[in-house]
Amino acid sequence: MTVQTALSAQDFKSDVKPIWCPGCGDYAVLSAMTKALAELDVPREQIAFISGIGCSSRIPAYTNVYGFHGVHGRALAIAAGVKLARPDLTVIVAGGDGDGLSIGGNHFLHACRRNVDMTYVIMDNEVYGMTKGQASPTTSPDWCNSKLTPEGTGISPVEPVRLALAAGANFIARGFAGNPAEVSRLIVEGVRHPGFSFIQILSPCITYRPEEREWRNAVHASGEQPAQSMTEAMHRLASDDGFTTGVLFAGNRPAFMPARAAKATLADIERKFVS
């Protein structure tokens, strides 16, 4: 056991230089994250920070905790394994809208319903940054700047918070990289809330979606207390414009965690084979 004095946000930053473009929204998310970790006051070695592949998914390496930069789309599955194996760890997951909602959509669905205690942050820029600008599931159907879909996708975007609710997430929030203080607070609340917490963070990609700078004019804080029942949340989200920030839903399903007390030895088990 080491005695730890309270750590600052800076203590949670690593010395690896981000590969991000100057001005990318992800820098603010990183700051909000390290600030939140400092506020949560969990020892660095007790945190497991898991991600997939994408610009945003690079974030664990920029923090100073245990981390796993996995493959594209599978962060939530790795994270579930970590938490189920080691309930004592604080598990945080982050990544992009492509990573989490396109290739990783199935794990998102099942993470919401499985309700393992962890916090999942999607840094949503409505684009694939890392692969140089293709449409993601949150991209609007008429965005024509990808060479892959030069006429736009023609497909309705997914609304991540609505999907999370339908799939059974236990805590749902939305933040904006332009307001890192709020993002930081949402992360702290998400981590403290038992079960699966989902936080969508609007984080502009200034290289492939420079128009997202305008998000700062669209976001508005939710004036209401978080919905506490699924029905109430469904009703509220039915009319959500996608730019309301704050905690949108805080449910009370117990987190999933199989019991793990040994009641028998291997020798007891082997005895069954004696013929």
Partner 1 sequence: MATYSVSVALTGSGGAGAMTAGQILLDSASKAGFFGLMTRSMGPQIRGGEAAALVRISSVPISSLDDHYDLLVAFDWGNITRFAAELPLSRDSLILADPEQGDIPEAVARHGARVAELPLKALAGTIPGARANMVGLGAVAALIGLPIDSLIAVLTVQLGRKGEEALAASTEAVRAGARAAATLPALPKLPEAAPHDGQRWNISGNEAAGLGALKGGIKFVAAYPITPATEILEWMAPALEKTGGTLVQAEDELASINMVIGGSFAGLPSLTATSGPGLSLMIESLGLAVASETPLVVIDVMRGGPSTGIPTKSEQSDLNIAAFGLHGDAPHLVVAPNSATDCLSATQWSVYLAEALQTPAIVLSDQAMGQSRVIIDKPADSPYVASRLVAPAGDGQYRRYALTDSGISPMAIPGTPGSNYVADGLEHNEKGTPSSQAGDHLAQLDKRSRKLDSFDYGDNWADIEGDGDIAVITWGSVTGPVREALARARARGQKVKLISLRLILPALPGKMEQALAGVGRVLVVEQTHSQQFAKFLRGHYTLPAEVSVFNRPGPLPIRPGEILTRLAAWE
Ligand X SMILES: Cc1ncc(C[n+]2csc(CCOP(=O)(O)OP(=O)(O)O)c2C)c(N)n1
Separation between Cα atoms, residue 184 and residue 31, nearest integer Å:
8
Residue 123 beta carbon to a copy of itself: minimum distance, rounded to whole angstroms: 20
Contact 141, 152 (CB under 8 A): yes
Residue 208 beta carbon to ligand SF4: minimum distance, rounded to whole angstroms: 6
Q: Which is nearer to ligand X, 25 or 190 (CB)?
A: 25
Site string for partner 1, 40-79 (x = CB under 8 A): ---xxxxxxxx--x-x----xx--xxxxxxxxxxx--xxx
Which of 51, 57, 63, 125 forms a contact with Mg ion (CB under 5 A)?
A: 125
DSSP one-letter string for 137-173: TTS-TT----TTSTT---SPPP-HHHHHHHHT-SEEE
Residue 108 beta carbon to a copy of itself: minimum distance, rounded to whole angstroms: 9
Separation between Cα atoms, residue 206 and residue 25, nearest integer Å:
8
Separation between Cα atoms, residue 74 and residue 84, nearest integer Å:
16
User: Nearest-CA neighbor of 125 among 165, 163, 95?
Assistant: 95
Site string for a copy of itself, 96-125 (x = CB under 8 A): ------xxxxx--xx--xxx----------
Contact 232, 252 (CB under 8 A): no
Site for ligand X in 61-90 (CB under 6 A): 72
Residue 19 beta carbon to a copy of itself: minimum distance, rounded to whole angstroms: 28
Site for ligand X in 90-149 (CB under 6 A): 95-99, 123, 125, 127-131, 136
Site for ligand SF4 in 74-133 (CB under 6 A): 125, 129
Site string for ligand SF4, 199-228 (x = CB under 6 A): ------xxxx--------------------
DSSP one-letter string for 67-92: EEE-STT-HHHHHHHHHHH-TTSEEE
Task: Please tell me whether residue 89 binds partner 1 under the rule CB under 8 A.
Answer: yes
Phi, psi of 138 (to 5 degrees): -100, 0
Task: Please tell me whether residue 177 binds a copy of itself under the rule CB under 8 A.
Answer: no
Containing 124, the helix (H) or strand (E) segment is strand 118-124
Q: Which is nearer to partner 1, 152 or 194 (CB)?
A: 152
Residue bearing tokens 């307001």: 179
Phi, psi of 102 (to 5 degrees): -95, -85
Interface with ligand X (CB under 6 A): 53-56, 72, 95-99, 123, 125, 127-131, 136, 205
Residues that bind a copy of itself (CB under 8 A): 102-106, 109-110, 113-115, 137, 151, 154-159, 162-163, 165-168, 230-231, 234-235, 237-239, 253, 256, 258
